């Protein structure tokens, strides 16, 4: 089985991508420092796949550890998730974000070059578009000044990939610009594990539904949108995982040097109130919420044009907002020790 290294592979998207890699006949290898993930995710992979996933505990910035992994494993490619990703925290601790998110990519690229591993899928974000002038947003839309140091690290990393490929290095790379990942594997053995109070909408909704949070605050309902609340493109994490498998497989046929980027979304936008409504439908529970002030830095509305990934990678999102919220809710119930069945 061809081996694919997943950096941050015990994380939310990384662990779901490991499942999708197994399903496509690959052997995932994980490196994770568990700074924003838990070892229970690796146990969850065993429950789903019946297989022990090789897992190196450590930091992608550790040159010696990365060299050891590449020496011990004949890798066909790498999917690079490992990064700090809390937008709010990044404005408080910019140096921590620039140092970790950028240096880990540089160490990875040097190690790949040294070991002759050419294929890389990079985890980027629609945050690079800021508030697009036109919607749905296309890959040809110029990137804007990032709203946060976190978003800027994604832009800088994309530029690093582009420059490395232009230098004729032996590299074939794809950046996947995620919209809003939500949901969990249908088994409820893996899912999102936010540390502390969730800053993202869906985990806050499910924790409110489970009684862990008293009520949800909707950050503003006076925007220029159908119901006044912000619009996002919420994509099921298993659809997102599948997009990574398509991308790494596509790269295997691409002669290096090669670089391109793709939006990964459903192509549909939903408001915050529509998320709440859909959650109430799938959970059968009313959700307690109040409307509060706008959150600084929020983009009003963004959703993906998915033509390019549909046609070039042959990938289309399969799951609906309802599917994703149902899987998020079942995961939350599993975490809280109940089950919906």
Q: What angle do CA 306, 311, 315 make, to 5 degrees?
A: 70
Q: Which is nearer to ligand WQD, 61 or 199 (CB)?
A: 199
Choose between 157 and 218: whose C-beta lies nearer to ligand WQD: 218
With residues binned 3-state (H G I as helix, E B as strand, rest as coil), the percentages for the chain, rounded to 5, are: 40, 20, 40
- Going by C-alpha positions, the residue among 35, 42, 52 that lies closest to residue 9 is 42
Contact between residue 99 and residue 105 where contact means Cβ atoms under 8 Å apart:
no
Strands (E) located in the chain: 3-7, 27-32, 55-57, 75-80, 119-125, 172-178, 180-182, 216-219, 231-232, 234-236, 258-264, 270-271, 289-292
List the interface residues with ligand WQD, window 86-115 (CB under 6 A). 87
**Is 150 annotated in the active site?**
yes
Rounded CA-CA distance 61/110 in Å is 11
Q: Which residue is nearest to ligand WQD (CB)?
A: 230
- Contact between 85 and ligand WQD by CB under 6 A: the answer reads yes
Q: Which stretch binds ligand WQD (CB under 6 A): 1-9, 39-47, 160-168, 211-219?
A: 211-219
3-state secondary structure of 338: coil
Token pair in block for residue 18 = 């490991």
- Residue among 8 and 77 whose Cβ is closer to ligand WQD: 8
Of 12, 26, 150, 250, which one is the catalytic site residue?
150
The residue from 109, 137, 157, 230 that contacts ligand WQD (CB under 6 A) is 230
Q: Which of 176, 161, 154, 171 is nearest to 20 (CA)?
A: 176
Residue from 10, 69, 218, 237 touching ligand WQD (CB under 6 A): that is 218
Is 217 a binding residue for ligand WQD by CB under 6 A? The answer is yes
Write down the least CB distance from residue 326 to ligand WQD, Å: 18
Q: Which is nearer to ligand WQD, 204 or 315 (CB)?
A: 204
Which of 91, 81, 92, 95 is closest to 36 using CA atoms?
Answer: 81
Q: Quick one: 15 or 249, whose CB is closer to ligand WQD?
A: 15
Q: How many CB atoms lie within 10 A of CB 63?
A: 12
Cα–Cα distance between 250 and 129 in angstroms, integer? 25
Residue 200 interacts with ligand WQD (CB under 6 A): yes or no: yes
Quote the least distance from Cβ 166 to ligand WQD, whole Å.
Answer: 26
Site for ligand WQD in 253-272 (CB under 6 A): 272
Interface mask (CB under 6 A) for ligand WQD, residues 168-197, using x and -?
------------x-----------------
Q: Which is nearer to ligand WQD, 33 or 233 (CB)?
A: 233
Active site residues: 150
Give residues in contact with ligand WQD (CB under 6 A).
85, 87, 125, 127, 180, 199-201, 204, 216-219, 230, 232, 272, 295, 298
């Amino acid at each position: 089985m061809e081996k694919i290294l997943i950096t941050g592979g015990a994380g939310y998207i990384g662990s779901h991508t490991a499942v999708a890699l197994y399903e496509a006949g690959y052997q995932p290898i994980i490196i994770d420092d568990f700074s924003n993930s838990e070892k229970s995710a690796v146990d969850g992979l065993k429950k789903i796949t019946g297989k022990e996933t090789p897992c190196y505990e450590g930091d992608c910035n550790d040159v010696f550890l990365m060299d050891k992994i590449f020496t011990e494993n004949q890798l066909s490619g790498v999917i690079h998730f490992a990064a700090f990703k809390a937008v709010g925290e990044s404005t408080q601790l910019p140096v921590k974000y620039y140092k970790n998110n950028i240096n880990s990519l540089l160490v990875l690229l040097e190690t790949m070059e040294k070991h002759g591993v050419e294929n890389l899928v990079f985890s980027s974000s629609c945050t690079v578009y800021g508030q697009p002038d036109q919607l749905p947003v296309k890959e040809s839309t110029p990137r804007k000044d990032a709203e946060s140091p976190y978003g800027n690290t994604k832009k800088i990393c994309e530029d690093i990939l582009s420059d490395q490929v232009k230098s004729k290095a032996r590299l074939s790379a794809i950046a996947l610009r995620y919209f809003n990942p939500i949901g969990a594997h249908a088994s409820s053995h893996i899912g999102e594990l936010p540390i502390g109070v969730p800053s993202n909408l869906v985990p806050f909704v499910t924790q409110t539904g489970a009684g862990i949070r008293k009520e949800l605050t909707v950050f503003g309902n006076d925007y220029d949108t159908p119901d006044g609340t912000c619009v996002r493109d919420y994509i099921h994490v298993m659809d997102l995982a599948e997009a990574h498998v398509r991308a790494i497989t596509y790269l295997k046929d691409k002669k290096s040097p090669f670089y391109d980027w793709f939006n990964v979304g459903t192509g549909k936008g939903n408001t915050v109130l529509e998320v709440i409504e859909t959650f109430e439908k799938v959970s059968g529970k009313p959700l307690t919420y109040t409307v509060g002030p706008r959150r600084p830095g929020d983009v009003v509305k963004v959703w993906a044009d998915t033509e390019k990934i549909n046609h070039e990678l042959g990938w289309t999102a399969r799951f609906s907002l309802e599917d994703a919220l149902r899987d998020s809710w079942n995961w939350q119930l599993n975490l809280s020790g109940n089950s919906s069945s």
